[in-house]
Amino acid sequence: MTIKLLIILIIAAALVWAALKYSYLVYPVIPLKPGEKVCVFMDNKYNRTATISKNMVAGVVIYDRFMLPINYRGKFYAVGYLDGGHKLIYITKKRYIILAIYAELARKFIGCPDYEDPTVEQTLADAMDKNMEDTDDGSN
């Protein structure tokens, strides 16, 4: 009886681990896009809905003047940490907050790959580096 219970517990643990490890494959793909509204949650509590002006590598700019940091981009959400230690979660639809909290826990415990968001604009430094590489004529 104890062996059967132990085997069942091991199988259950393996299934939970697999569910956490590969759950990112079934998340909806809703990237943050400039011009769209985003719901901002601070420390898992709703803070505000804002319009994205720019979506950059380091973060998003809202209302054409406030830069909010992004440390991790998921398929449908992003997470940033402020200097004061507050955690910001950005999602496009308020109803996805439970899924975003689950996805963040799964990412912290198991690890999920970062989503390569196609709507991210280049930073000024990246654009200048690319411009310098393009204008290089090969002369010394």
Rounded Cα–Cα distance for residues 104 and 109 (Å): 9
- Indicate the DSSP class of residue 136: -
The domains located in the chain, with CATH, are 28-116 (3.10.330)
pLDDT tens-digit map of 80-138: 999 988 999 999 999 999 999 999 888 888 877 777 777 777 654 554 455 455 555 55
3-state secondary structure labels for all residues of 42-83: ECCEEEEEEEEEEEECCEEEECCCEEEECCEECCCEEEEECC
- Record the pTM: 0.74
